[in-house]
Chains A and B, each alone.
Chain A
Amino acid sequence: MTSQALPAGHSGEADAAWRQWARALALAGPGVLDAAWREWEPKPEVQAIRGPEAGLVMMRARTDGGGARFNLGEATVTRATVRLHGGPLTADAMGTAYVLGTDTAHALHAAIFQGLLADETQRERVLTEIITPLEREQAARDAGRQADAQSTRVDFFSVAREHE
């Protein structure tokens, strides 16, 4: 039996969790997932189903920020789909990942960890050892950037023609 990356009849809540995990994997810094996979033991066998291959997505935005959609321009994206079997897995598992940029190793390893997340026996370990540290790191980076940005907050005072 193959357990899909997304179980059939999934709920909105499960979607939200998967999206959050995909986000953490996509935002991982260069080389982080490669190193994590190198050290991951025991490893299941990895069979590449599709890719990793680079392609494009057309980025969309909205006129005036919130109006009609328009095509802004493209971005490079790399995708990979893998099947994991054997090793610590109870059943074959599929993993799919899409990551901005052309780093094929990043997409491949993100797909592998997606596959591990699909396996009930591996999920907790991936969450503890990979996803949670990634999220913590990303939150720290965001907080640092936000603090930098907030140090540039400004109050302008008009000297004339106020509330005219």
Chain B
Amino acid sequence: MYVAVKGGERAIANAHALLAKEGRGDPALSPLNPAAVAGQLGVLVARVMTEGSLYDPELAARAIVQAQGDVLEAVTLIRSYRTTLPRFGYTLPVDTARLPPQRRISATFKDLPGGQQLGATFDYTHRLFTDRDTAGPASAPDGGGPPDEGMPRVSDLLGASALIEPDQALDGDPEPGDLTREPAVFPMTRAERLQSLARGDEGFLLALGYSTQRGYGNNHPFAGEIRVGEVDVEIEIPELGYPVPVGRVELTECQMVNQFSGSADTPAQFTRGYGLAFGRSERKAMSMSLVDRSLRAGELGERAAAPAQDEEFVISHSDNVQATGFVEHLKLPHYVDFQAELGLVRRLNAEFRERAEGASGRHDGAEEA
């Protein structure tokens, strides 16, 4: 039970003033400009948008500055802000295969149609500090024209020969459940699970994905394809009667391909896990696809014994706003709560002492006899 407290207004106001002062840093330096944050800390902005479940780089950058770089605090700001806005509708499903991606790699196929493109990546860097003032190495354009054959999804290439499971379409393309509108009920559909994982904490999903690789629900994954690029967003507008493009968003997509030995009614084939996140969020998309696959254990008739295969455990603990709210509320005044427990412990201690004294009394008596 939580009992409210009163008082402390002045102290609280001063604490907030002090927080702002700490956040300002050296007053001789110019304050952080959110637009510069959006441009120069793009990966952090992507994380705040993804876990805040709201695509808006400008707002995410503002949240990061206000939260003094605390990702969860920034995510909470974004989540609170979204509750103040009306919902205008839904977009058409984004088509990640349509626009030429900036980055597109496959760890499974060396020579895939459309070729591989590293894009803007930290891969293959030396992970050493560079000179402070260099903008980075010069680039040497290769002059090659755009690929003629387009960049089909890797899953569609193997899919043709049925060695990889096809896209999981459902009859009649039903409306997916929406966790922002209805409470989570277990077991979830895969669509609901993906929505939940999409805004789940990157660190938590990374750890769970890692656990599956280390043998806790082993599913032997390969990165079938990773894409980063901008997709057009179109929304269905009732008064116009046709979908209208409203802008573009940058997304990271990961198709994880996993070994599957088959079951009584399915031949051996590769199964899939899917990850999709806002902005440049490759680690998140990869972790999400690993966990999406491990949570399909029940559907694929696998023995589910590892934490990453337990849907209720994973989904209930992946939201970092919920998690931090419950953990951090412990620091708020719990005086009445604690007083009650203190009284209980005192009484139990007194009873324990009485029992101990009584027992030693009997013992002394026996000696005398």
Residues of chain A having any CB pair with chain B under 8 Å: 5-6, 15, 18-19, 22-23, 26-27, 53-77, 79, 96, 98-102, 145-158
B245 x A19 contact (CB < 8 A): yes
Q: How far is the CA of A56 from the CA of B87 in the complex (A)?
A: 5
Contact status B53-A22, CB under 8 Å: no
- Asked whether, in the complex, the Cβ of A152 is within 8 Å of the Cβ of B59, the reply is no
By the criterion CB–CB under 8 Å, are B142 and A150 in contact? yes
- Contact residue among B100, B246, B272 (Cβ-Cβ distance under 8 Å from A100): B246
Q: Contact between A152 and B56 (Cβ–Cβ < 8 Å)?
A: no
What is the number of contacts between chain A and chain B, taking CB atoms within 8 Å?
228
- Mark each residue of chain B from 141 to 168: 1 if its CB lies under 8 Å from any CB of chain A, else 0: 1101110000001011000000000111
Q: How far is the CA of A70 from the CA of B189 in the complex (A)?
A: 10
Q: B194-207 CB contact bits vs A (8 Å, 1 = yes)?
A: 11001100000000
Inter-chain contacts of B146 with A (CB < 8 A)? 146, 150
In the complex, B3 has a CB within 8 A of chain A? no
Decide if B141 touches A151 in the complex (CB within 8 Å). yes
Interchain residue pairs with CB less than 8 A apart (10): A56-B88, A64-B167, A76-B55, A77-B88, A96-B239, A149-B117, A150-B144, A150-B145, A152-B117, A155-B115
- Which residues of B sit under 8 angstroms from A99, Cβ to Cβ? 246-247
Residues in B whose Cβ lies below 8 Å from that of A56: 54, 82, 85-88
Asked whether, in the complex, the Cβ of B56 is within 8 Å of the Cβ of A153, the reply is: no
**A75 contact from B97, B139, B169, B249, Cβ within 8 A:** B249
Q: Distance in Å from the Cβ of A78 to the closest Cβ of chain B?
A: 9
Q: Name which of A72, A98, A152, A154 has the most chain B CB atoms within 10 A of its CB.
A: A72
Chain A residue at minimal CB-CB distance from B164: A64
| A149:B245 contact, CB within 8 angstroms | no
Complex contacts, B276 vs chain A, CB 8 Å: 61, 72
CB distance from A16 to the nearest CB of B (A): 9
Q: Which residues of B contact A (CB under 8 A)?
A: 49-50, 53-56, 58-59, 82, 85-94, 96-97, 100-103, 105, 110, 115-121, 139-142, 144-146, 153, 155-156, 166-170, 173-180, 190-192, 194-195, 198-199, 232-235, 237, 239-249, 253, 255, 272, 274, 276, 278
Q: Which of A58, A64, A69, A156 contacts B116 (CB 8 A)?
A: A156
Q: How far is the CA of A69 from the CA of B92 in the complex (A)?
A: 9
Q: How many angstroms from the CA of A80 to the CA of B253 in the assembled complex? A: 32
- Top 10 nearest A-B pairs (CB, nearest first) are A100-B247, A67-B167, A70-B191, A23-B245, A75-B55, A66-B167, A67-B168, A73-B53, A152-B118, A55-B88
- Residues of B within 8 Å of A57, CB to CB, are 87-91, 233, 235, 246
- A72 in contact with B142 given A26-B246, A65-B155, A100-B233 (CB within 8 Å): no
Q: Determine if A67 and B169 form an interchain contact, defined as CB atoms under 8 angstroms apart.
A: yes
With A100-B246, A100-B247, A151-B142 known to touch, is A71 a contact of B178 (CB < 8 Å)? yes
Whether B239 lies near A149 (C-beta < 8 A) is no
Cross-chain contact A74 with B54 (CB below 8 angstroms): yes
Contacting pair B91 A63 (CB below 8 A)? no
Closest CB of chain B to A139's CB: distance in Å?
A: 13
